[in-house]
Chain A
Amino acid sequence: SSELTQDPAVSVALGQTVRITCQGDTLRSYYASWYQQKPGQAPILVIYGKNNRPSGIPDRFSGSSSGNTASLTITGAQAEDEADYYCNSRDSSGNHYVFGTGTKVTVL
């Protein structure tokens, strides 16, 4: 079973803000990363570390963390942001990675 828990699905109106959360005890020790996966495509990194965006990722994506919860916020969601989002971090041993259960984001 996954050590990182996400809500299965969220929806957001076009142009509005949505927050996706990831909960797990290991997040008290390690930052989460966030990945976007569109149907039929490989995941891509959107946020890592405290709040870092790789080159090419729009600044409407941001990350934050508090206690055992990491969050990914999309401010001003666009139609192209409709995708599955996964968090990941190290597991409780620190020697392996683990993924969250995934959140399907629908842009209405």
Chain B
Amino acid sequence: EVQLVQSGAEVKKPGESLKISCKGSGYSFTSYWIGWVRQMPGKGLEWMGIIYPGDSDTRYSPSFQGQVTISADKSISTAYLQWSSLKASDTAMYYCARVPSGWETIDYWGQGTLVTVSS
């Protein structure tokens, strides 16, 4: 069974750093892309970027380039999304999602990680 299990909810202060994770299981982690999606409170889905754990090829949506860092550790089948300095506007639910190598679709989603940034 394919599973993407994300790390737990986080409460942070503005200016702090954060790294959240997404562990894949039930499939070959290095043969699929992992994408990250933001959903701000009461809003729609926003594509942030994607990484291919097999060779670490990473592509950022223009809206998120320079704002976050996406990485992966294929030895433990885990992808990461990190911030060096959080802002209140980063408060959102973040989902990781699996994308087949041909980018046909997003076929599996993690359960989401809620990030709250507040002073």
Question: Which of A's residues lie within 8 Å of B, judged by CB?
Answer: 2, 31, 33, 35, 37, 42-45, 48-49, 54, 84, 86, 88, 90, 95-102
Contact = CB atoms under 8 A, between A and B. Distances in A.
Given A96-B59, A97-B99, 20 more contacts: A2-B44, A33-B106, A35-B45, A37-B45, A42-B95, A42-B109, A42-B112, A43-B109, A45-B105, A45-B106, A45-B108, A48-B104, A48-B105, A54-B107, A86-B44, A88-B47, A88-B106, A96-B49, A96-B50, A101-B44
A42 B37 CA distance: 11
15 contacts: A2-B44, A31-B104, A43-B95, A44-B109, A48-B104, A84-B44, A86-B44, A88-B47, A88-B106, A96-B61, A97-B47, A97-B103, A98-B47, A99-B44, A101-B44
A35 B106 contact: yes
Contacts of B50: 96-97
B45 A49 contact: no
Contacts of A44: 109
Given A43-B95, A96-B61, A33 B44 contact: no
Contacts of B95: 42-43
B61 A86 contact: no
Interface in B88-111: 95, 99, 103-111
Interface in B37-94: 37, 44-47, 49-50, 59, 61-62
A90 B109 contact: no
B24 interface: no
Residue among A96, A97, A99, A100 with most chain B CB within 10 A: A97
